[in-house]
Amino acid sequence: MPLGIGIVLLGLWQWWVTAMEIPKYIVPSPVLVAETLVSDWGLLSTSLFITLKVTFFAFAASVVVGTLIAFLFVQSRLLELSLFPYAILLQVTPIVAIAPLIIIWVKHQDIALTLCATIVAIFPVISNTTLGLRSVDRGLLNLFQMYGATRLQTLLRLRIPSALPYFFGGLRISSGLSLIGAVVAEFVAGTGGAGAGLAYQILVSGFQLNIPRLFAALFLITATGVVLFLVMVLLSRLALGNWHESELSEAT
Amino acid sequence: MTHEAIIEVMGASKSYPDGTQALAPVDLTVRAREFVTLLGPSGCGKSTLLKLVAGLLAPSAGSVRLRAQSLEAAGAARGAGLAFVFQEATLMPWRRVRANVRLPLDLAAVPRGEADSGVDEALALVGLSGFEKHFPRQLSGGMQMRASIARALVGKPHLLLMDEPFGALDEITRGRLDADLLQLWRSRALTILFVTHSIYEAVFLSTRVVVMGARPGRIVGEFTIDEPYPRGEQFRVSPKFLACCQKLSQALAEASGQGGEARPSVAAAS
């Protein structure tokens, strides 16, 4: 169904551009974008790789660090209450405002970009995982207590599985945010003249009025976002498919 | 029939910091192989008393002893030979029936092979053989409760504590499970402390019924049900059964009269 709608929209787009004879430097036709994608593939694929690298490292960092912080928060209410406001502070400050600072302070550009993207993507992981680790069924907790389970046993056998649905919810949001963070950080760096990722290509193509290439780069970013989301959905289904309400079909 | 005291509750009470007294000081002795039911309306402290015996709650005063040992000395539940069945089946939805039933053994680090054969045995006892690979959501309410009971039995306990285990089930399933429970009780030489608000269930199952009243939670009477086992469906319609139910109804009504609550209607008692 979505595919069908997409094809119809593409068709309309193609028709509109051709019929209205819109110049390619304002709105290129889908056919032209596709051609540019092929012809400029060398350049675009390298940029894609660079953006992907930042996205993946930022996502990995968000998941690892975010989960660790969530565990810490669950161990100590005091720690959570002390640090949570700062996490929120970091979350609500727009990255476009912080990014220039970070790029100046951190010499190595890749690390700077990854740091920016991590800041954007980490919060959902922290808040969702903390919520998940705390949302354990009371009855099961009593059961574990009754059978003399150690804290480690309770963590591994009860808290973590209980937290998984929330964790994956956080991952879904965070994966998209990693990409957004990477792109925004690249934009900020790009206006300073440095960079090589897809966002940089968009900037440069804009300056050069190479609109077809701009569209092509944009398309690649969007496609990456979609693929990331689908990967998260797949992971979610693998981990939760057997048992969680969110993954079960209506019929069961 | 042995007469060893399995549970001794001596003046145990439970109050909460905000001043609510869930249970006034009570004394209770349960001997080996008895089937004792705590019967009372909501708020009479019967679940609280059960949890005190289980060690899930600590008494504010008084003490609880299991087999003449204090609860601390008795250690974790399996060591104490004790198992608890909750009102909800309380199964882990992310694991299959086998892993759920095996949980107490896994927590006690019992080797997998030994644990699995224990699980098979327990499932056979409750009539769930063949359902090991199912997930809890694939089972009906009654089957989930059976799985929960299997989990309670897998550690080979000698004492079973049950907190309104069949309360959430329909009448027919409940009747079936009542009969199966009696069968288990006799064949496994268990001692059972059972909580319910159903007079019929209390009379059908128990050797002795302890009637409790609310506000404050307290014991108001004890009644022996003098009917030999095995008890079949014909017991449920016998004159003796009705007489017992009436006695219990009356005790409950008197208790709630003293407590200043609305009287529970005898006809509605179930």
Sign of CA dihedral B15, B16, B18, B22: negative
Counting residues of chain B whose pLDDT is more than 90, the rounded percentage is 40
Taking all residues of chain A, what is their mean pLDDT, rounded to a whole number? 86
Q: Considering only the beta carbons, identify the residue of B54, B86, B107 that sits closest to A148.
A: B107
Q: Using pLDDT thresholds of 50, 70 and 90, give the confidence band for residue B263.
A: very low
Strands (E), B47-96: 61-66, 69-70, 82-85
Q: What is the ipTM of this complex?
A: 0.79
Tell me the C-alpha to C-alpha distance, in Å, between residue B25 and each of A195, B13, B52, B62, B248. 76, 4, 12, 7, 22
Is B75 touching A (CB cutoff 8 A)?
A: yes
Residues 88 through 127 of chain B touching chain A, CB cutoff 8 Å: 88, 90, 92-95, 103-104, 106-108
Cα separation of B266 and B199, whole Å? 10
User: With 80 as the cut, is the pLDDT of residue B213 above it?
Assistant: yes
Please report, for chain A, the start and end positions of each structural domain, with discontinuous segments joined by +: 27-238
Tell me the C-alpha to C-alpha distance, in Å, between residue A214 and each of A25, A40, A161, A229. 10, 11, 44, 23
A56, A226 contact by CB (below 8 A): no
Query: What confidence tens digit (pLDDT) does each residue in B55-89 have?
Result: 888 888 888 888 777 666 655 555 668 888 988 88
Cα separation of B136 and B125, whole Å? 18
Query: What confidence tens digit (pLDDT) does each residue in A101-152 have?
Result: 888 888 888 888 899 999 999 999 999 999 999 899 988 998 898 888 898 8
User: With 80 as the cut, is the pLDDT of residue A251 above it?
Assistant: no
Indicate the SS3 state at residue B30. Answer: strand
Contact residues, chain A, for B77 at CB < 8 Å: 146-148
For residue B36, give the H/E element and its range. strand B35-39
CB contact set of B1 (below 8 Å; sequence gap of 6+): B32, B33
Average pLDDT over residues B192-202: 92
Query: What confidence tens digit (pLDDT) does each residue in B135-145 have?
Result: 999 999 899 99
Tally helices (H) and strands (E) across chain A: 11, 0
Contact residues, chain A, for B95 at CB < 8 Å: 161
Could you tell me the pTM of the whole model?
Answer: 0.78
Given CATH 1.10.3720.10, say whether it is the number of domain A27-238.
yes
A244/B93 Cβ within 8 A:
yes
The domains located in chain B, with CATH, are 1-81+173-264+266-270 (3.40.50.300), 86-156 (no CATH)
Neighbouring-strand partners of residue A148: none
